[in-house]
């Protein structure tokens, strides 16, 4: 479906948006109501406000088509004077948000959430401007890569530029970002991750209303974002089988410090309602991993891969500011609990080392750099990331729970 009918489809989404208030779902995917293709217990989140922006924001005009790469770029206009509180998708310092789509030759869909840091009240290190699929088309976003198991799938690409892990819903003064165009000076920050995410999923439904399967994936901040996005994706596609690949954002935070999750992040981002009230222990141990357990119990029509290097320095040292050994211990304990509870639907790939992410690099050049980046070639016991992802997608025995024996 091309953009000539986008307005009509978004109009239908607007008409259906009110259904979320009583727990019913937008009809998308193969149709039907929420959970009719399996057990889906996300209605509580819809009632708490997860779906409040469904159908609210239409892109500005028709998309720009990049004929060379086959990419449509949808741009959202800056909503009037954002400082006056007008709602709409935005990047961190008030610039426009975009969403890219690419039509493949299959009827399967990749929803990819880009990474790029995080910001909270007294710390900010995040990308501040939108970016584009054409500039990051490596790894599983490379349609010409022969080993890529999703090379011919449709793609919806979500840039990440507001520092809230796709969860935020707040405008507030923040310190300048060391990763973006900013600096040490404070300025207004627009952490509208939930608005950005929802607007992108409106486009996804418009462009690709009936995928046979969906791979929801992301790297780093986008990987954390998949945790928030999963129930919302299910709202749009109530019956479609979901595969989730979380690359370096598996939900581990600060052991024994729930205030970091609950107050510094969720409350600071005005996102506390995105955690189900009924799940009283979802963040009680200082991590958000028990919320993943809750999701797995609530919806039996998805499987999840969790990838993290054992001592990921970006997550542990830079953002969490904890010793690598503490991160490793929490990583093994938290993911180990989940895979024991859901051994057929949740599996780990934990290589030894301090590197960060794998899905966007096809091969390792051995350079490392300031931040060492993994690749699709990263292996555990002779099994590479791309082989493991392929086994998950194909449903073969090669999708095993893998933890490098050198991880202590």
Q: What is the pLDDT of residue 179?
A: 61
The reply to whether 408 falls in a domain is no
Nearest partner of 111 among 302, 376, 362, 283, judged by Cα? 302
Q: Which structural domain, as residue segments, surrounds residue 279?
A: 3-403
pLDDT value, residue 5: 39
Say if residues 100 and 243 touch (Cβ distance below 8 Å). no
Q: What is the pLDDT, as a whole number, of residue 177? A: 72
Return the minimum-mean-pLDDT range out of 56-60, 80-84, 190-194, 213-217.
80-84
Q: Say how far apart CA 215 and CA 241 lie, in whole Å.
A: 9
Determine the distance from the C-alpha atom of residue 194 to the mean position of all C-alpha atoms in its chain, rounded to a whole number: 11
pLDDT tens digits along 365-377: 766 666 889 999 9
- How much of the chain, in percent, has pLDDT values that exceed 90? 82
Q: What's residue 13's pLDDT?
A: 56
- Measured CA to CA, the distance from residue 284 to residue 107 in angstroms comes to 40
Reported as a pLDDT band with limits 50, 70 and 90, residue 387 is very high
Pick 181 or 224 by higher pLDDT: 224
What distance in Å separates the CA atoms of residue 155 and residue 133, rounded to the nearest whole number?
Answer: 9
DSSP 3-state of 346? strand
pLDDT mean over 64-77:
96
Q: CA 351 → CA 39, 111, 222, 399, distances in Å?
A: 33, 25, 20, 15
Residue 186 confidence (pLDDT): 80
The residue with greater pLDDT, 35 or 6, is: 6
Q: Check residue 84 and give its pLDDT.
A: 74
Q: Which of 18-32, 151-165, 221-235, 268-282 has the lowest mean pLDDT?
A: 18-32
pLDDT score of 23 more than 80:
no
Q: Residue 378 is part of a domain; what is its CATH number?
A: 3.40.50.1820
Asked if the structure places residue 238 within a domain, the reply is yes
Instruction: Name which of 33-37, 230-234, 363-367, 369-373 the model is least confident about.
Output: 33-37
Strands 123-126 vs 187-191: parallel, antiparallel or unpaired: unpaired
61 pLDDT more than 50: yes
Question: Within a domain: residue 78?
Answer: yes
Per-residue pLDDT band at 294 (split at 50, 70, 90): very high
Give the pLDDT score at 4.
45
Position 114 pLDDT exceeds 70: yes
pLDDT tens-digit series, residues 173-192: 999 876 654 455 788 999 99
Query: Is it the case that residue 236 has pLDDT exceeding 80?
Result: yes
Over range 111-124, report the average pLDDT. Answer: 96
| Average pLDDT, integer, range 36-51 | 80
Structural domain includes residue 34:
yes
Q: Does 75 score more than 60 pLDDT?
A: yes
Q: What's residue 137's pLDDT?
A: 81
pLDDT tens for 189-223 read 999 999 999 999 999 999 999 999 999 999 999 99
If one counts the domains in the chain, the total is 1
Instruction: Give dist(CA 191, CA 269) in Å, integer.
Output: 7
* 118 domain residue, yes or no: yes
The answer, yes or no, to whether residue 41 has pLDDT greater than 70, is yes
Q: Is residue 242 a part of any domain in this protein?
A: yes
- Residue 259 falls within a domain, yes or no? yes
Helix axes 289-298, 221-236, angle to 10 degrees: 20
d(CA 357, CA 309): 8
pLDDT band for 25, please (50, 70, 90 cuts): very low
* Distance of alpha carbon 38 from alpha carbon 167, whole angstroms: 26
Structure confidence at residue 7 as a pLDDT band (50, 70, 90): low
- Per-chain mean pLDDT for the chain: 90
């Amino acid at each position: 479906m091309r953009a000539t009918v986008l307005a009509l489809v978004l109009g239908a989404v607007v008409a259906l948006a009110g259904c979320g208030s009583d727990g019913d779902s937008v009809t998308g995917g193969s149709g039907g109501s929420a959970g009719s293709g399996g057990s889906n217990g996300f209605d509580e989140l819809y009632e708490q406000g997860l779906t409040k922006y469904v159908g609210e924001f239409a892109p500005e005009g028709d998309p720009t088509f990049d004929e060379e790469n086959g990419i449509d770029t949808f741009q959202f206009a800056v909503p009037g004077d954002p400082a006056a509180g007008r709602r709409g998708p935005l990047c961190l310092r008030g610039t426009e948000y975009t969403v890219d789509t690419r039509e493949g030759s299959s009827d399967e869909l990749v929803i990819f959430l880009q990474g790029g840091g995080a910001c909270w009240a007294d710390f900010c290190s995040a990308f501040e401007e939108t970016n584009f699929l054409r500039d990051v088309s490596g790894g599983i976003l490379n349609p010409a890569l022969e080993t890529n198991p999703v090379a011919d799938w449709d793609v919806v690409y979500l840039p990440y530029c507001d520092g809230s892990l796709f969860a935020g819903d707040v405008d507030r003064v923040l310190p300048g970002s060391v990763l973006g165009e900013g600096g040490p000076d404070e300025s207004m920050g627009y952490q509208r991750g939930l608005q950005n995410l929802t607007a992108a999923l409106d486009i996804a439904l418009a462009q690709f209303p009936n995928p046979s399967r969906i791979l929801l994936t992301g790297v780093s901040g986008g990987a954390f974002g998949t945790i928030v996005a999963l129930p919302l994706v299910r709202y749009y596609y109530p019956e479609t089988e979901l595969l989730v690949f979380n690359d370096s954002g598996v939900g581990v935070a600060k052991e024994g410090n729930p205030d970091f999750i609950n107050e510094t992040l969720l409350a600071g981002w005005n996102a506390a309602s995105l955690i189900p009230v009924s799940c009283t222990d979802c963040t009680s141990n200082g991590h958000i991993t028990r919320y993943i357990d809750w999701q797995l119990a609530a919806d039996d029509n998805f499987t999840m891969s969790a990838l993290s290097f054992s001592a990921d320095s970006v997550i542990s040292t830079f953002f969490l500011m904890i010793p690598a050994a503490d991160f490793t211990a929490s990583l093994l304990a938290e993911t180990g609990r989940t895979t024991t509870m859901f051994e057929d639907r949740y599996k780990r790939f934990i290589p030894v080392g301090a590197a960060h992410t794998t899905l966007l690099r096809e091969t390792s050049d051995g350079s490392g750099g300031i931040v060492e980046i993994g690749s699709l070639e990263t292996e555990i016991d002779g099994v590479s990331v791309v082989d493991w992802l392929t086994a998950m997608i194909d449903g073969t025995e090669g999708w095993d729970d893998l933890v490098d024996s050198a991880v202590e």
